[in-house]
Every structure is written in C-alpha cells, then in structure tokens.
Amino acid sequence: MALKKQLLTDLKAAMKAKDKVRKSTITLIRAAILQEEKDKQIDDLEDSDIEAIISKQYKQRKDSLKEFEKAGRDDLIEQTKAEMAIIEDYLPKQLSPDEIGTIVEDTIQEIGAESMKDMGKVMKAIMPKVKGKADGKVVNQIVREKLN
C-alpha cells in the first residue's frame, strides 16, 4: 500500500509543477489500480499486485511504441517514451539476462527438467520468482535456450 500512497503523492507534486505528462501517466496508473480493486472487490491491493499492474501498463506502452515507430508517428513516439520513463520509476529493478539465466538454470536443476517437454513445468516454477522483475517473453526465450 506504500506504492499506492507514493503514486498519490507524486500525482499531487506533478499537478503543482504543472507536469502534464507525469500527471496523466500517474492518473492512468491509478485508474488501472482502482479498476482492479473494483473488479476484485478489494479495498487495497498489495504492492506486488500494484507492481503487476504498473508492469502491464509499461508493457502496453512498449508494444505501442513499436507500432508508432512502424507508422512513423514521431509525436506519439516521444510521448510514449516519456510515459515509459515515468513508469520505470515505479517498477522494481529489472533482472539482467544473466541473472535470469542463473534463476532458470537453478530451477531446471530443482525440477529435473531435461527437454522441451518440461517447458511448462519450468515456466510455472520460474514466473513467481521473477514476477514484476522480468518480462515473460525474455524468460521464455532463455528457458528455451537452456532446454535445447
């Protein structure tokens, strides 16, 4: 719940500073959090749940950025990059590919996975360990490399 309070404090600061991009980005994040709370009928989400929502917001912008670059929309590219930079402030430090590789190797040994048939078991065991700290696509790619 500390993260939720931090977002509110930062929203107030952005409003005072008349920082439109930061204000709108934080407002969208807070709206996503409120929607999730209403959907689950919970008063306050845990920080880990809020981090997952923020991570999802970041991923959406990352996907949009690729499309904007294909379309040559420089105005939207700059805005999206600015929003991503703001969102990164609220995400936990992301794991490097080497750190993910170490976690993958340890998990493969724990489970005793030997081939691609064990991919589902490995992913199921790894994802809770790296939740919010690594992109699932990157983890999937590294698991594939290690199992081949």
Could you report the per-residue pLDDT of 34-76, keeping only the tens digit for each? Answer: 999 999 888 888 888 888 888 889 889 999 999 999 998 988 9
> Does pLDDT of 1 surpass 70?
no
Q: Structural domain boundaries of the chain?
A: 2-88, 97-147
Residues 6+ apart with CB under 8 A from 124: none
Tell me the pTM. Answer: 0.73
Match 């590789």 to its residue by tokens.
101
Q: Is the pLDDT of residue 20 over 90?
A: yes
Domain topology for 97-147:
Arc Repressor Mutant, subunit A (1.10.10)
How far is Cα 41 from Cα 21, in angstroms, rounded to an integer? 30
- Across residues 117-141, what is the average pLDDT? 86
Q: Judge if 2-88 and 97-147 fold alike in CATH terms.
A: no
Name the residue with higher pLDDT: 135 or 18: 18
Nearest 5°: the CA angle 26, 27, 32 is 95
| Contact predicate 24/7, CB 8 Å | no
- CATH node for 2-88: 1.10.1510.10
Q: What is the pLDDT of residue 29?
A: 93
CA angle 95, 96, 99 (to 5 degrees): 80
The predicted structure's pLDDT at residue 23: 95
Q: What is the pLDDT of residue 2?
A: 86
The predicted structure's pLDDT at residue 92: 81
Give 93 or 86, the one with higher predicted confidence.
86
Say how far residue 54 (Cα) sits from the centre of its chain.
6
Q: Is the pLDDT of residue 132 over 80?
A: no
Within 10 Å of residue 34's Cβ, how many Cβ atoms? 12
Mean pLDDT calculated for residue range 71-84: 91
DSSP 116: G
Distance (Å, rounded) from C-alpha 23 to C-alpha 11?
6
